[in-house]
């Protein structure tokens, strides 16, 4: 069974959906940010502050690479992970199925806090919007795109992802 990688912008609910989906499928849930924190022994926030974004991205790529050896896992990626060609390649070569949680910008914007050390990539609203637009084509390169309104519960979103997975598997 292929591993599943949830991708999308901050605030899309990748972690909550990931947990619900893993439970539904009987898979293990893995949070990529938590893996980075475990490997480096410090929070994502601290990695950004002390070592910089490039160090975070290297650790993120290394953590992602290590998930390829795992079996039956749902991986919630960080919002920037699928925006690197190297990372998308790791997922593809590892036979992973990537799933974009596609929410309207207005919904994401309403969910996101202002600039906060906990979310080092967030800035002013217009900067966040620009970042989202830059990233969207990368997210859209996922194997499966699940369009969401933002009204769904994590369990309902997990069900939608599951259905899309079945449809994709049947079609190939």
Q: What is the DSSP string of 113-160?
A: -SSBTTBTT--SHHHHHHHHHHHHHHHTTSSEEEE--S-S-HHHHHHH
Q: How far is the CB of 121 from ligand S3P (least distance, A)?
A: 4
Least distance to ligand S3P, CB of residue 86, Å: 15
CB of 33 to ligand S3P, least distance (A): 5
Nearer to ligand S3P, 127 or 172 (CB): 127
> Under rule CB under 6 A, which residues in 44-73 are in contact with ligand S3P?
44
Q: Is 119 helix (H, G, I), strand (E, B) or coil?
A: strand
Are 74 and 30 in contact, with CB atoms under 8 Å apart? yes
For 66: left if phi > 0, alpha if psi spans -120 to 50, otherwise beta; the answer is: alpha
Query: What is the contact mask toward ligand S3P in residues 129 to 168, using x (rule: CB under 6 A)?
Result: ----------------------------------------
Residues lying near ligand S3P in the complex (CB under 6 A): 10, 14, 33, 44, 78-80, 119-121
């Amino acid at each position: 069974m292929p591993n599943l990688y949830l991708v999308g912008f901050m605030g899309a609910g990748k972690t909550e959906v990931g947990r619900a989906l893993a439970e539904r499928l009987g898979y293990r849930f893995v949070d990529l940010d938590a893996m980075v924190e475990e490997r480096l022994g410090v929070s994502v926030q601290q990695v950004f502050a002390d070592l910089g974004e490039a160090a975070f991205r290297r650790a993120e790529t290394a953590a992602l690479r290590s998930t390829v050896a795992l079996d039956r896992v749902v991986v919630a990626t960080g919002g920037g992970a699928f925006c690197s060609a190297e990372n998308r390649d790791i997922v593809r070569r590892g036979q992973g199925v990537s799933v974009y949680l596609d929410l309207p910008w207005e919904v994401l914007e309403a969910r996101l806090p202002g600039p906060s050390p906990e979310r080092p990539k967030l800035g002013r609203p217009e900067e966040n919007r620009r970042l989202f637009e830059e990233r969207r084509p990368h997210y859209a390169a996922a194997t499966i795109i699940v369009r969401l309104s933002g009204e769904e519960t994590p369990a309902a979103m997990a069900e939608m992802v599951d259905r899309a997975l079945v449809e994709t598997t049947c079609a190939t």
